[in-house]
Amino acid sequence: MAAHMRWGLQLLLRGRNTVHLRFPDMTKRSFPLQSTTQSFGGVHPQAGTGATNCSIRYLSIQTQDTPNPRSLKFLPGKPVLGSGTIDFPSPNSAECSSLARDLFEIEGVKSVFFGPDFITVTKTDEDVEWTDIKPHAFEVISKFFESGDPAITTEAVHHESSFCEDDDDIVSMIKELLDTRIRPTVQEDGGDVIFKGFENGTVKLKLVGSCTGCPSSTVTLKNGIQNMMQFYIPEVDNVEQVEDEVDEINAKVFAEVERKLQD
Give the other-Cβ count within 10 Å of 149's Cβ: 13
Where does the pLDDT of residue 59 fall: very low under 50, low under 70, confident under 90, or very high at 90 and above? confident
- Predicted pLDDT of residue 89: 93
Residues 221, 241 contacting (CB under 8 angstroms): yes
pTM of whole model > 0.75? no
Nearest Cα to Cα of residue 33 among 79, 65, 2, 67: 65
**What value does the mean pLDDT take over residues 110-123?**
95
Nearest Cα to Cα of residue 118 among 176, 67, 166, 66: 66
Nearest Cα to Cα of residue 184 among 100, 117, 88, 99: 117
Where does the pLDDT of residue 257 fall: very low under 50, low under 70, confident under 90, or very high at 90 and above? very low
Residue-range domains of the chain with CATH: 2-18+160-247 (3.30.300.130), 33-147 (3.30.1370.70)
Residues 109, 135 contacting (CB under 8 angstroms): no
pLDDT above 70 coverage of the chain, percent: 67
Residue type, 59: L
- Predicted pLDDT of residue 256: 54
